[in-house]
Amino acid sequence: MSETKPISLDQFRKRKEKEAAEQYYPGKLVWLFCPKCETLEYTEIVSKNGRMHKCGTLVEEREVELDLRAEITMTEYNLEIINALLKKNSGFKLIKIISKSLDKALIALQSSEQTYREKLLLAAGMNIPLYPGNIDSLKDKLPIKDINPLGLIISEFRFEPEKRFNLKPSPRKK
């Protein structure tokens, strides 16, 4: 009769927690480009037979596989930064004109991030837990391509989408 070690319930629980904390949530999003309108959008809906743009032109599509959990984690981090900037900006009562235009820009960014989060959740078909830990400890795990001047994370999926269609990048306003 061979001797076997008893299974430790505590070790089993820790192993399961570690596996759950590192679980990858695969998904797909699709970049869409209309050659007539020259618009670039993304969607969570994969279309096998192609799709028409509202102008009636067949759009070009680029399907991208990604880790939905990583994208949600980065989006939540971006929303935290935007909310902190909005809160900080509300304290400047002397510079109301400037702060109002900054607020509008931040609210537009916030809306964009919330829309992205909704599309990720639709692509997943369920609520996705965030990767545990702070963003600094997760930087090696997440597909971070760039960080903009506000400190917002730009993922590989959202970084220069025009290159997926061999388009010239749009000129950035300075």
* pLDDT tens-place string over residues 148-166: 999 999 999 999 999 988 8
Q: Note whether residue 12 is domain-resident.
A: no
Local structure of 157: helix, strand or coil: coil
Q: Note whether residue 101 is domain-resident.
A: yes
Q: Note whether residue 127 is domain-resident.
A: yes
| Residue reference for tokens 């900080």 | 88
Q: Note whether residue 7 is domain-resident.
A: no
Tens-digit pLDDT profile for residues 52-100: 999 999 999 999 999 999 999 999 999 999 999 888 877 666 566 666 7
The residues, ordered by sequence, that sit 6+ positions from 76 with a Cβ below 8 Å of its Cβ are 117, 130
Q: Note whether residue 3 is domain-resident.
A: no
Q: Note whether residue 39 is domain-resident.
A: yes
Question: In terms of residue numbers, what domain contains 35?
Answer: 23-165
Local structure of 81: helix, strand or coil: helix
The count of structural domains within the chain is: 1
